[in-house]
Chain A
Amino acid sequence: MPHFGIILATYLGACVEWVEAFTIVLAVALSIGWASAATAAGAALLVLAGMTLTGTALLAYIPDFAWVQGIIAAFLILFGLRWLAKAIARGAGLRPLHDEVAQFNAVRASKGLSDHHAAWLIAFNGTLLEGLEVWLIVVALGVQSHHTLPVAGAAIAALLTVIAVGALLHRPLARVPENALKFIVGGALLGFGSFWLLQALGYAWPLGDGALPALVAFYLLGGLGLVALLRRRAGAAA
Chain B
Amino acid sequence: MRALFKTLFGSARTIGAAAAAAGLAVLALHGPAPALAGAVLPVALLAGAAYLARH
Contacts and interface: CB of A to CB of B under 8 A. Distances in A.
Given A81-B52, A198-B41, A206-B38, A226 B29 contact: no
Given A94-B53, A129-B7, A78 B42 contact: no
Contacts of B3: 129
A88 interface: yes
Nearest to B48: A81
A106 B41 CA distance: 40
B4 A215 contact: no
Given A79-B10, A81-B14, A215 B42 contact: yes
A177 interface: no
Contact of B46 (A136, A205, A219): A219
B53 A197 contact: no
A198 B37 contact: yes
A110 to B, nearest CB: 15
B9 A197 contact: no
A222 interface: yes
Interface secondary structure of B, over-half rule: helix
Interface in B1-55: 3-4, 7-11, 14-15, 17-18, 21-22, 25-26, 29, 34-35, 37-38, 41-42, 45-46, 48-54
Interface secondary structure of A, over-half rule: helix
B22 A77 contact: yes
B12 to A, nearest CB: 12
A201 B29 contact: yes
A74 interface: yes
A123 to B, nearest CB: 15
Contact of B53 (A89, A211, A219): A89
A136 B41 CA distance: 22
A176 B26 CA distance: 39
Interface in A170-191: 186, 190
Interface centre among B21, B22, B29, B37 (most CB of A within 10 A): B22
Q: Which 10 A-B pairs have the closest CB atoms?
A: A85-B52, A89-B53, A88-B53, A85-B49, A222-B46, A82-B10, A85-B53, A84-B49, A132-B7, A194-B41
30 contacts: A77-B22, A77-B45, A78-B9, A78-B10, A78-B18, A81-B10, A81-B49, A82-B52, A85-B14, A85-B51, A85-B53, A86-B52, A88-B49, A88-B50, A89-B53, A89-B54, A94-B53, A129-B3, A129-B4, A197-B22, A198-B37, A198-B38, A201-B25, A201-B37, A203-B29, A203-B38, A206-B35, A206-B38, A226-B46, A230-B54
